[in-house]
Amino acid sequence: MNELFRKLQDGDLLGLLMYGEARGEGLLGQVAVGCVVRNRVRKSGKPYSDVILQPYQFSCFNTNDPNRSILEKIAQAIVDGKDPQETSGIFQQCRWLAYGVINKSILDVTFGATHYFANTINKPSWANNMIETIRIGGHIFLKEKV
């Protein structure tokens, strides 16, 4: 089903990710998630779609995540040229912010973070060799130690 997501423009795909990962956050939290992706794109030199759809990097795209089916419906609506009605408010906000993140009219609010996790879970093992850059809403943002 990643083929469906790969049909989207970068801003639509990043907007989907921001919606799937941070729709319960405020504007700053949504922007922060988008900035993490932009920081990974910048660091890796890979396209947005490769960074976003890399397996097990963003849980909302995992096949066993309940958000996945919601994102597939929205993506299909976009591909079909329809307005994803049921989520138009928050999703449209995330999509609008995503385009601002991509075109760099929105500055990095994470201080270079390339990873994040929810503050409701124990610190993941992958985060042990990273430094915290900021906490925004329900997420803790981190970057690699230099």
Delineate the domains of the chain, giving CATH numbers in brackets.
2-109 (1.10.10.2520)
Q: Using only the alpha carbons of the chain, give its radius of gyration.
A: 14
Backbone angles phi, psi at 16, to 5 degrees: -60, -45
Mean pLDDT by 10 residues, the chain (146 residues): 90 97 96 98 97 95 94 93 73 95 97 96 94 97 93
Cα–Cα distance measured from residue 82 to residue 118, given in angstroms and rounded to the nearest whole number:
32
pTM confidence score: 0.93
* HSE value, Cβ hemisphere, 13 Å, CA-based, for 91: 18
